[in-house]
Structure 1
Amino acid sequence: MHLSVEDFVKHVKDVVTISDRLMDGWALKEKEGIENGTYITKRCTKNLTKPGNTNATTLVTFEYHIAYHLSYAVPIICLKIWKQDGSLISLEEYWEFNNDLKESNIYDTLTQLDHPVLCQPFLTLHPCKTQEIIQPFLEHSKNPIISWLSVVGPFVHLNLLDEYIHNC
């Protein structure tokens, strides 16, 4: 069992419907003329603190994109992170702020890939393990995208409101 493009589109549209009701900021984007042209985005501002150093806090803006990766046939989380001066945070710099990924190899877990729709470089949770993670949700969840995001989102500082989980 795998997630088709059509199922992906249906589920991300449901995410946006829930988000609109909650005023949570997810927006649907569509690029005409390509099979996987539908994706959702959200921006939010957060403080990042370096583990073990509560004085090293940086205010940043996250831009999350949930898109469909045709080669892997799975959803993918793409993100850009800006400091308040407008400069992007690099992969290595973000790694320093991320306690949840410390046990992993940086380039196997979080990497820079081209966005599957926009063809621009984004930080990305590598899609190679996504099929393994999402498989149980494909069989048992009303919205496997929400279920998958609830598991992998916290690794990139993306936490869903509980109301999303109630829709799974």
Structure 2
Amino acid sequence: MDASFKLEDFCASIENIVAISNSLMDGWTLHKKEGVENGKYITKKYSTSLTTSDANDIVVTFEYHIAYHLSYGVPVLCFRVWKQDGSLLSIEEYWALNENLKGSSMYDTLTQLDHPVLCQPFLTLHPCRTQEIIQPFLQHSKNPVISWLSVVGPFVDLTLPDQYLKLC
């Protein structure tokens, strides 16, 4: 049995996410960059507040991208985070604000990589362990990307409504 996660499977999964999102008005949008083998990806943008180390809240806007990484053969979660003044948070600034990652090694977990489709720098959950995380879902989930996101998304302030998980 082939246990790899193919580009075609990824595309079907993200199209399904957008269909669910549209019914929930949850904000995921499908994009296609022509002339690029892995040109389909989805995005979502939302604003929230994060608490600083001195207990102050700052409002930030996240822009999440889920794309397919051809070299790793897995989905990747890329994102950018802006402060209200429009400046991007650096990887170090985001790390300092993220309580979910405190027990991890920063550069083993979060890195700055070029987006697999747009070729622009994004904060990215490191894709090297994604195959290990997604593998159990390939045989048992109707949508392995949703299942994978439900595990890794909360580490970078991305949660999915329960309606997504009910469809897996």
Once residues 127 and 84 of structure 2 are traced to their aligned partners in structure 1, the CA distance between those partners, rounded to angstroms, is: 29
> Is 2:29 the partner of 1:23?
no
Secondary structure in structure 1 of the residue aligned to 2:88? coil
- Which residue does the alignment assign to 1:46? 48
- 5 Å-filtered alignment, 1:88-127, equals 88-127=88-127
How many pairs does the alignment contain?
A: 166
Once residues 25 and 40 of structure 1 are traced to their aligned partners in structure 2, the CA distance between those partners, rounded to angstroms, is: 10
Once residues 109 and 35 of structure 2 are traced to their aligned partners in structure 1, the CA distance between those partners, rounded to angstroms, is: 31
Give the residue type in structure 2 aligned to 1:90. Answer: S
Secondary structure in structure 2 of the residue aligned to 1:104? coil
Q: Which runs of 5+ in 2 are unaligned?
A: none
- Which residue does the alignment assign to 1:72? 72
Calculate the TM-score normalised by the size of structure 2. 0.97
Once residues 128 and 44 of structure 1 are traced to their aligned partners in structure 2, the CA distance between those partners, rounded to angstroms, is: 27
Alpha-carbon deviations, 1:4-59, whole Å to 9, x = none?
001100000000000000000000000011110000000000001135x43x2110
Once residues 38 and 125 of structure 1 are traced to their aligned partners in structure 2, the CA distance between those partners, rounded to angstroms, is: 19
Secondary structure in structure 2 of the residue aligned to 1:14? helix
Once residues 162 and 35 of structure 1 are traced to their aligned partners in structure 2, the CA distance between those partners, rounded to angstroms, is: 32
- Which residue does the alignment assign to 2:59? 59
- Which residue does the alignment assign to 1:143? 143
Calculate the TM-score normalised by the size of structure 1. 0.97
Once residues 118 and 49 of structure 1 are traced to their aligned partners in structure 2, the CA distance between those partners, rounded to angstroms, is: 31
Secondary structure in structure 1 of the residue aligned to 2:160? coil
Give the residue type in structure 2 aligned to 1:66. Answer: I
Secondary structure in structure 2 of the residue aligned to 1:32? coil
Once residues 158 and 125 of structure 2 are traced to their aligned partners in structure 1, the CA distance between those partners, rounded to angstroms, is: 12
Give the residue type in structure 2 aligned to 1:166. Answer: K
63-72 or 101-110: bigger deviation: 101-110
Alpha-carbon deviations, 1:43-92, whole Å to 9, x = none?
000001135x43x2110000000000000000000000000000000000
Once residues 32 and 6 of structure 1 are traced to their aligned partners in structure 2, the CA distance between those partners, rounded to angstroms, is: 16
Q: Identity of aligned pairs, percent? A: 65
> Is 2:10 the partner of 1:8?
yes
